[in-house]
Structure 1
Amino acid sequence: MPRYNWPLLPEILRTLFNRPITVQYPFGPLEMPERYRGRVDIQAEKCRGCGLCVRDCPASALELERVDKETFRLIYHPDRCAYCGQCEESCRFDSIYLTNDFVPGTPHRENLTTVLVDRKPEEGEESGGDDEPA
């Protein structure tokens, strides 16, 4: 009768009684590490539309559409984003940051595009001048 060498037998017996390491993702939320770089978000009230984040983004994931000094839109394209955090580093006003959330999946790229800031002059406020009547 041949004699078999079972080098994996101790490993098999050890893992037989342990819980699985995998996570049941669709049925339960994933716990992401604290420093995970997820989608870009912004505190819109702090954003001044200076464009430093747009200029420094190596993947061109941010786009600034400016109408005048006070009216602008900051658009985020997560399909282009490298999640490097350069936009967060270059923002002087600490308005842009990376969350630890996933970017939701979609079959169409255009559905991923997000308008982060849509700043328009308030009612009764003229865009372009900071002069107050005397």
Structure 2
Amino acid sequence: MDTHHPDGFISRTCQRKSYEMGGKKNLSFSAVSCSQEHIAALIEKIKASPYFKNTVIVVSSDHLAMKNSAWEYLNKQDRSNLFFVLRGDQPQQDTLAVKRNTMDNGATVLDILAAITISALGAAASPGSRFPAYSSI
């Protein structure tokens, strides 16, 4: 799976190999669609496992898209990095709208895993965290 510039990579195993924007095939969006398909299939496979109840799935982007064939469409939208957690021990899902950045990901995941989170970089953004989220470094 690869959605990096200039056009990403579209696996031959994807069901949807083409994505159109403005009536034209867009390779970057096609690569994203393909990656989403594979990621969703992996998550569903994990969730169907009897081990899911003891599993934490973390999905995170590491940066916004660089200049690619979808650039003109992306820059017209509000953009933010993706970060979400699926917990097998907590089937209910919550959306937390907290100001954060990718430096918080590690502290948040460690906090969810009930690990000791002592870090000079990042703050856990999970509910009830011992380490409150911050608004800026």
User: Which interval holds the TM-score relative to the shorter structure?
Assistant: under 0.3
Q: Which structure shows the higher strand fraction?
A: 1
Task: Name the TM-score, length of structure 2 as normaliser.
Answer: 0.25
Q: Which has the higher contact order (CA 8 A, sep 6+)?
A: 1
Task: Name the TM-score, length of structure 1 as normaliser.
Answer: 0.26
